[in-house]
Amino acid sequence: MSVRVLVVEDEENLLTLLRKYLEREGFEVHETLDGREALEVARRVDPDVVVLDWMLPGLDGMEVLRELRRFSEAYVIMLTARADEVDRIVGLSTGADDYLVKPFSPGELVARVRAMLRRPRGGASSARDRVEEDAPLSFGELTVDPARREVRLLGEEVSLTALEFELLAALASRPGFVFSRSRLLERVWGENYFGSDHVVDVHVANLRKKLKDDPSDPRYVQTVRGVGYRFRRP
Ligand code: CA
């Protein structure tokens, strides 16, 4: 069965270009120029991946994503015209899985989509079907259960994006071990990820927020200056 990709982009030339590239890669491509219509199409075709422009007529990308998350577990790549918007998008915890700053090459988009599809997804059947032998990890108030892809804080389930979960699971698998940003990128984003290391920092920031971790004195995810991150030994 082919992978369904929904492209939401109001620049028609770019939309056409992306559709051609994605179709050439064998994806089933659906497209729309409008945010509101994007939700209708998403309900109908149940896409695996949504490529979503940030600035759209109707509903903007963030609003589309918020609504989309109520019924879809699709991977979402946000497109933005400005690099400095990436921090804002991530800071708003929209639940996007990746970001691309315009202009980008369609080949890069394809590489990102392929990298995403290789990652297991929480709740997706492909993730459920995988044989996982990892036992749940317990750190005081925090439990990380790789088999169920579940994180609990004081017994309450913490809702993480796929990327946040992968990050936490990687770090928590080896408490005390220092993971460099590039190692985390390779492990969590896949070896074909071409973006900047900075994306690790923004996702760690969101992860800490959800774990109620104080960045100046984190209980779980510690910064190792100039290198990366480590999970604090219990
Ligand atoms: Ca636009």
The CATH number linked to 150 is: 1.10.10.10
Residues 136 and 100 in one domain: no
Domain that holds residue 32: 4-117
Band of the pLDDT at 44, cuts 50, 70, 90? very high
Band of the pLDDT at 92, cuts 50, 70, 90? low
pLDDT in tens, 71-84: 888 899 989 887 77
| Contact in structure between 68 and 41 (CB atoms under 8 Å) | no
Q: What is the pLDDT of residue 222?
A: 93
Residues 35 and 72 in one domain: yes
User: 4: CA distance to ligand 1 center in Å?
Assistant: 22
Q: What is the pLDDT of residue 93?
A: 56
User: 56: CA distance to ligand 1 center in Å?
Assistant: 5
Q: What is the mean pLDDT of residues 194-204?
A: 84
User: 230: CA distance to ligand 1 center in Å?
Assistant: 38
Residues 45 and 103 in one domain: yes
Residues 90 and 154 in one domain: no
- Structural domains in the chain (count): 2
Residues that place a CB less than 5 A from ion ligand 1: 10, 53, 55
User: 61: CA distance to ligand 1 center in Å?
Assistant: 9
Domain boundary residue, one of 91, 117, 143: 117
pLDDT in tens, 97-134: 888 888 888 988 998 898 888 776 544 333 333 333 46
Domain boundary residue, one of 85, 117, 149: 117
Q: What is the pLDDT of residue 30?
A: 97
Length of the chain: 234
User: 99: CA distance to ligand 1 center in Å?
Assistant: 14
Residues 9 and 55 in one domain: yes
Q: What is the pTM of this model?
A: 0.55
